[in-house]
A and B are shown apart, each in its own frame.
Chain A
């Protein structure tokens, strides 16, 4: 703790003054101060924007001031970060002072604070992504309501587009972090035998800016929404109202969190593996997170820059994307998809990693073709940078490059196929225990197959003429992202929540949840392939009368699918709060390192840094060695170079 002069002279105080960043209890920094900081920043930004720009002719004419809205959101996010305490450390460093360590709180209020403990951040993320998912899911219900009837409109035409856009954007932002955030942050250190992430403050930052991003993107609705879908194509983007600012800045904010999280996780996996955790012993989930982290770190800057250009077009009247003023309508498409296609694999790879962990445990067999699986993930992430123009096959851009992009896109199905090789090989002559996580893992193999095979249709340029931009592609990516990643995430939650919370999830409610989700997912999205083939474009509020039957079938299934998520939330509340059942330390008899430590996980994860002896997949081997030497007799000194208490 540093000496500092008293702020006000004459204040009688005998006790040593506690710096305000070190206060305890209600007077410390927490969600409440973050909200206050956000509101103050927002108000200031709004005032500033109006003060400098409200007399511009185009703002007077339109009556909408995007500059004020942009500044309000920017200052709001800065205020939020100041309020939660994310900037204490860097500001102190900037000022040349010795920064204080974050106060670690050990009661429930730690979940509402800037916590540098990776387990706290992981659980914060669980709640964060579920909130995202719930919001996006409600908007999906609204979409399916509008599509119940081709001529009766429940929402006005512009509101419908705004709902579609908000749904897509929220879901994409959510899906980017849905595994890396909660499970990546919580499990990676446990799986590689580390006490913490490499940069705990960056980790905490990535969560709190993720929450800020949620609020920024949600602010689009009170601002009047944006009409562009999640792809935000310019120059429609430049034409839109101030809700577009929320989209552009929201992606930038979320992008900062993605870059921070990706960088942090990659560094952690590379540098913080326990002794003996060689690359051939790293769990397959960690491989998938490493591949994802590489994509997050390398692809997101493109989105960040693209969003910044768009924000400038909307506020400073630059013309990056406006052809008539020297820009290009293709520029956004290129930048967006250059990020967007790696993004698609950000939303697929972690799912493969999760099922790769679940299958061996519930088949009691080693993971088949482990090295091929890991290579497949790296291969997918490399190839994903070379396929983005398959989103633009019909756009007139680089038409002579279409065969190349067709080839690279179809090549990606080879490493993706490795995941099936791994899964089917592991199932071979196994002894399957149909616990909930296993059901979700097998559902991924079912769903993703349909998603993957239809992807080949989309990558074929001649067939793409019919299926591009219609419900076919919509169904395809719901099959891969929802049918793949979301099913894997649910499996992962049922599998790891006992370790993370110390409570078992209820199996009966879980079964009901799984079967309703699996059945109604397929009944919702499979008809959409046919709807798409029959000529219904995406994002339309009206459609041909003969498609009403299929659309209604899909809508009713979608409502029931929505209901299955309510069952999940009920299970969560039931198992964690209403009727909690204590979980044993290793309920699934897993060999994974994360299950070898106690439940609840000790503050420093392991008694001492474990020494890894082999990989965690020696199931059904009588003479198999223990996964790791966890020690247990000797205690680590309270202060060591590996002390994880928030030093970065």
Chain B
């Protein structure tokens, strides 16, 4: 065979290898859930507060890990519940956040996260009642927290009674028992700020911090704050 022929074979094999690599990157190295960014920068007039509504569900019910706990976010345009934990927010703006908590609670591993921190007034509202501390060893415990460590923002979400008829799979409807938690905070300057939950809610994992707690798009993501 001529040098050219051999060269052609090598080039073809090389392209096949590149194809295989691209395929495996696309299959294994990109998140297995509907990733992407939920954009909240164009939902309101400039300077107006952003409304951000999320729900927490005990078992998401679909996707590769149907038994995992997850946050869902309400698409501001279509009003559909979407499994997406990266939210694009305008800088230096007020965010009104509403959390529909459909999950039961447990004691926190560290009661420090039972304090409301970094919100306007240092409080949040549980079904309309303001609170600033919740003892997670009492009552229904804390279901999840919404915590942005870099902003000093943390809000405990009081759990629903575990004996109630809980919503089995997401997205949950308001007919299921739930708690409504509302609070407001101000976004900082542009940047990428990770948020997570501090309740050990990854069932079946040591310390409850594996699985959904260790996978983006379930119990953690980013606030992408842009100008």
**Closest chain B residue, CB of each to CB of A138:** B21
A578 contact from B10, B30, B202, Cβ within 8 A: B10
Q: Closest CB of chain B to A53's CB: distance in Å?
A: 12
Q: Which of the residues B25, B67, B207, B217 comes within 8 Å of A62, measured between beta carbons?
A: B67
| Cβ–Cβ contact A573 & B31, under 8 A | no
- A157 in the interface (beta carbon within 8 A): yes
Residues of B in contact, count (CB < 8 Å): 35
Contact of B206 among A63, A221, A322 (CB under 8 A): A322
> How close is A311's CB to chain B, nearest CB, in angstroms?
15
**In the docked arrangement, what's the CA distance between A328 and B216, Å?**
29
Do the beta carbons of B204 and A159 come within 8 Å of each other?
A: no
Point out the residues of chain B lying under 8 angstroms from A152, CB to CB: 192
Q: Quick check: is A577 within 8 A (CB to CB) of the other chain?
A: yes
User: Is A153 a contact of B222 with CB atoms below 8 Å?
Assistant: yes
Task: Select one of A60, A159, A240, A573 contacting B10, CB under 8 A.
Answer: A573
Asked whether A241 and B192 contact (CB < 8 A) given A62-B203, A578-B3, the answer is no
Given contacts A151-B191, A158-B214, A579-B3, contact A63 B68 (CB under 8 A): yes
- Chain A: CB-nearest residue to B210: A239
Q: Does B194 contact A (CB under 8 A)?
A: yes
A335: interface (CB < 8 Å):
no
Q: Is the CB of B216 within 8 A of A62?
A: no
| A437, CB-defined interface residue at 8 Å | no
Encode contact with A along B200-220: 1 for CB under 8 Å, 0 otherwise.
001111110111001111001
Chain B residues touching A, majority SS: mixed
CB distance from A403 to the nearest CB of B (A): 35
Binary contact track B8-43/A, C-beta < 8 Å → 1, others 0: 001000000000010011011111000100000000
Q: Roughly how many angstroms separate A142 CA and B28 CA in the complex, as a whole number?
A: 13
- Looking at the assembled complex, report how far the CB atom of A23 sits from the nearest CB atom of chain B, in whole angstroms: 30
Q: Which of B31-67 contact A (CB under 8 A)?
A: 31, 35, 65-67
B21 proximity list for chain A (CB < 8 A): 138
Q: Name which residue of chain B comes closest to A155, CB basis.
A: B29
| Contact (Cβ within 8 A) B28 A239 | no
A61, B67: Cβ atoms closer than 8 Å: yes
Q: What is the distance, in angstroms, from A246's C-beta to the closest C-beta of chain B?
A: 12
Are A59 and B204 within 8 A (Cβ)?
yes
Contact with A along B170-204 (1 / 0, CB 8 A): 00000000000000000000011010000000111
Q: Which of A142, A158, A239 contacts B209 (CB 8 A)?
A: A239
Q: Is A250 an interface residue (CB 8 A)?
A: no
Give B10's nearest chain A residue, CB to CB: A573
B6 A156 Cβ-Cβ under 8 A: no
> Is B204 in contact with A62, judged by CB distance below 8 angstroms?
yes
Q: Closest A-chain residue to B21, C-beta based? A: A138
Nearest CB of chain B from residue A147's CB, rounded to whole Å:
14
Q: Which of B204, B206, B220, B222 contacts A238 (CB 8 A)?
A: B206
Specify which chain B residues have a CB less than 8 angstroms from the CB of A227 in the assembled complex.
Answer: 214
How distant is the Cα of A159 from the Cα of B216 in the complex, in angstroms? 9
B3: chain A residues within 8 A (beta carbon): 578-579
A235 touches B206 (CB 8 A): yes
- The smallest beta-carbon distance between A67 and chain B, in angstroms, is 12
Query: Which residues of B have CB within 8 Å of A157?
Result: 194, 216, 220
Q: Is A271 an interface residue (CB 8 A)?
A: no
With A222-B28, A578-B3 known to touch, is A158 a contact of B216 (CB < 8 Å)?
A: yes
Question: Which residue from chain B places its CB closest to the CB of A220 in the assembled complex?
Answer: B28
Could you mark each residue 143-170 of chain A with 1 if its beta carbon is under 8 Å from any beta carbon of chain B, else 0? 0000000111101111100110000000
Within 8 A of B (CB), among A239-266: 239-241
Contacts of A156 in B (CB 8 A): 30-31, 35, 216-217
Q: A residues within 8 A CB of B30?
A: 155-156, 159
Q: How far is the CB of B87 from chain A (nearest CB, A)?
A: 14
Q: Considering residues A64, A152, A225, A227, which has the most beta carbons from chain B within 10 angstroms of its beta carbon?
A: A64
CA distance A552 to B214 in the complex (A): 28
A239, B29: Cβ atoms under 8 Å?
no
Q: From B8, which residue of chain A is reached at the shortest CB distance?
A: A578
Q: How far is the CA of A59 from the CA of B211 in the complex (A)?
A: 12
Q: Tell me which residues across on chain B come within 8 A of A50, comparing CB atoms.
A: none
Which B residues lie within 8 Å of A142 (CB)? 25, 29
* Residue with the highest number of chain B CB atoms closer than 10 Å, among A142, A235, A239, A542: A239
**Contact A542-B192, Cβ < 8 Å, known A138-B21, A221-B24, A578-B6:** yes
Per-position binary interface string of chain A over residues 285-313, scored 1 when its CB falls under 8 Å from any chain B CB and 0 otherwise: 00000000000000000000000000000
Tell me which residues across on chain A come within 8 A of B202, comparing CB atoms. 62
Kindly state whether residue A26 has any CB partner on chain B within 8 Å: no
Contact A153 B192 (CB under 8 A): yes
A58 at the interface (CB under 8 A from B): yes
Known: A156-B217, A158-B216, A159-B31. A239 touches B67 (CB 8 A): no
- 6 pairs, A vs B, C-beta closer than 8 Å: A60-B67, A63-B68, A63-B204, A158-B214, A159-B216, A241-B205
Residues of A within 8 A of B (CB): 57-64, 138, 142, 150-153, 155-159, 162-163, 221-222, 225, 227, 235, 238-241, 322, 542, 573, 577-579
The 4 lowest CB-CB distance pairs between A and B, nearest first, are A62-B204, A61-B204, A61-B203, A156-B216
Q: Please name 15 further chain A to chain B contacts, defined as beta carbons within 8 Å, in addition to the given A64-B204, A238-B206, A579-B6, sorted by A numbering.
A: A60-B204, A61-B204, A62-B202, A62-B203, A62-B210, A62-B211, A63-B204, A156-B217, A158-B214, A221-B29, A239-B207, A239-B210, A577-B6, A577-B10, A578-B7
